[in-house]
Amino acid sequence: MTQQHPLDAMLHLQPQADGSFVAHTHAGYANMVGPYGGATAALLLHSVLQHPDCLGEPLSLTVNFAGPVGDGAMHIVPRAVRTNRTTQHWVVELRQTDAQTGVQVVATTASVVTAVRRETFSAEAIDAPTVPPAADCPRFDVRRAMTWLQRYDWRIVSGGLPTVWDDSPHPTQSRLWIRDEPARPLDFASLAALCDVFFPRIWLRRARIVPVGTVSLTIYFHADRAQLAAQGSAHVLAQADAQALRNGFFDQTAQVWDTQGHLLATSHQIVYYKE
Amino acid sequence: MTQQHPLDAMLHLQPQADGSFVAHTHAGYANMVGPYGGATAALLLHSVLQHPDCLGEPLSLTVNFAGPVGDGAMHIVPRAVRTNRTTQHWVVELRQTDAQTGVQVVATTASVVTAVRRETFSAEAIDAPTVPPAADCPRFDVRRAMTWLQRYDWRIVSGGLPTVWDDSPHPTQSRLWIRDEPARPLDFASLAALCDVFFPRIWLRRARIVPVGTVSLTIYFHADRAQLAAQGSAHVLAQADAQALRNGFFDQTAQVWDTQGHLLATSHQIVYYKE
The per-residue pLDDT for range A47-75, each reduced to its tens digit, is 999 999 999 999 999 999 999 999 999 99
- The arithmetic mean of pLDDT across residues B104-114, rounded, is 97
- The arithmetic mean of pLDDT across residues A256-263, rounded, is 98
The whole-angstrom separation of Cα B245 and Cα A266 is 12
Partners of residue B215 in chain A, C-beta under 8 Å: 59-60, 87, 113, 115
Summarised one tens digit per residue, pLDDT across range A90-106 is: 999 999 998 888 999 99
Query: What is the per-residue pLDDT for A275?
Result: 86
Q: Is A248 close to B117, i.e. CB distance below 8 A?
A: yes
Query: What is the per-residue pLDDT for A97?
Result: 94
Q: Which residues contact A91 (CB under 8 A, 6 or more apart)?
A: A78, A79, A81, A109, A110, A111, A112, B91, B109
Share of chain A above pLDDT 70, in %: 100
Partners of residue A224 in chain B, C-beta under 8 Å: 247
Query: What is the per-residue pLDDT for B181?
Result: 97
Whether pLDDT at B72 is above 60: yes
Query: What is the per-residue pLDDT for B1?
Result: 55
User: How many helices (H) and strands (E) are present in chain A, helices listed first?
Assistant: 5, 14
The whole-angstrom separation of Cα A78 and Cα A26 is 20
The whole-angstrom separation of Cα B264 and Cα B222 is 5
The whole-angstrom separation of Cα A269 and Cα A252 is 5
Query: What is the per-residue pLDDT for A3?
Result: 86
- The arithmetic mean of pLDDT across residues A5-31, rounded, is 97
The whole-angstrom separation of Cα B220 and Cα A252 is 10
Whether pLDDT at B268 is above 60: yes
**A89 at interface of B, judged by CB pairs closer than 8 A:** yes
What average pLDDT does the structure give for chain B? 96
Closest Cα partner for A260 from A222, A216, A205?
A: A222
Alpha helices by DSSP H, listed for B104-247, are 188-194, 201-206, 225-231
What average pLDDT does the structure give for chain A? 96
- Classify burial at B83, counting beta carbons within 10 Å of its beta carbon; exposed 0-12, middle 13-18, buried 19 or more: middle
Neighbour count for residue A211 (Cβ, 10 Å): 10
- The arithmetic mean of pLDDT across residues A152-164, rounded, is 96
Contact B94, B76 (CB under 8 A): yes
How many residue pairs bridge chain A and chain B with CB atoms within 8 Å of each other? 201
The whole-angstrom separation of Cα B62 and Cα A224 is 23
Smallest Cα distance from B1 to chain A, Å: 40
Closest Cα partner for A37 from A206, A252, A275?
A: A252
Query: What is the per-residue pLDDT for B98?
Result: 85
Write out the CATH class of domain A6-117+130-273: mainly beta
> What is the dihedral sign for C-alpha A164, A170, A176, A180?
positive
Query: What is the per-residue pLDDT for B194?
Result: 98
Q: Which residues contact A219 (CB under 8 A, 6 or more apart)?
A: A41, A60, A61, A62, A191, A192, A195, A265, A266, A267
Partners of residue A215 in chain B, C-beta under 8 Å: 59-60, 87, 113, 115
The model's pTM is 0.98
What is the distance between the terminal CA atoms of chain A, rounded to a whole angstrom? Answer: 50
Q: Which CATH number fits domain B6-116+131-273: 3.60.15.10, 2.40.160.210, 2.60.40.420, 3.40.1280.10?
A: 2.40.160.210
- The arithmetic mean of pLDDT across residues A124-132, rounded, is 97
- Picking from B89, B220, B241, the nearest residue to A270 by CB comes out as B220
Please report, as a single letter, which amino acid is at residue A159: G
Partners of residue B247 in chain A, C-beta under 8 Å: 117-120, 122, 224
Summarised one tens digit per residue, pLDDT across range A196-212 is: 999 999 999 999 999 99
Q: Is B243 close to A255, i.e. CB distance below 8 A?
A: yes
Q: Which residues contact B19 (CB under 8 A, 6 or more apart)?
A: none
**B216 at interface of A, judged by CB pairs closer than 8 A:** yes
Closest Cα partner for B271 from B245, B241, B250?
A: B250
**pLDDT class of A1 with cuts at 50, 70, 90:** low
Show me where the domains of chain B are located. Answer: 6-116+131-273
ipTM entry:
0.97
Neighbour count for residue A66 (Cβ, 10 Å): 26
Instruction: Pick left, alpha or beta for residue A154 (phi over 0 → left; psi -120 to 50 → alpha; otherwise beta).
Output: beta
Q: Which residues contact A23 (CB under 8 A, 6 or more apart)?
A: A11, A12, A13, A14, A43, A47, A73, A74, A76
Share of chain B above pLDDT 70, in %: 100
Q: Facing residues of B263 across strands?
A: B257
- The arithmetic mean of pLDDT across residues B66-79, rounded, is 97
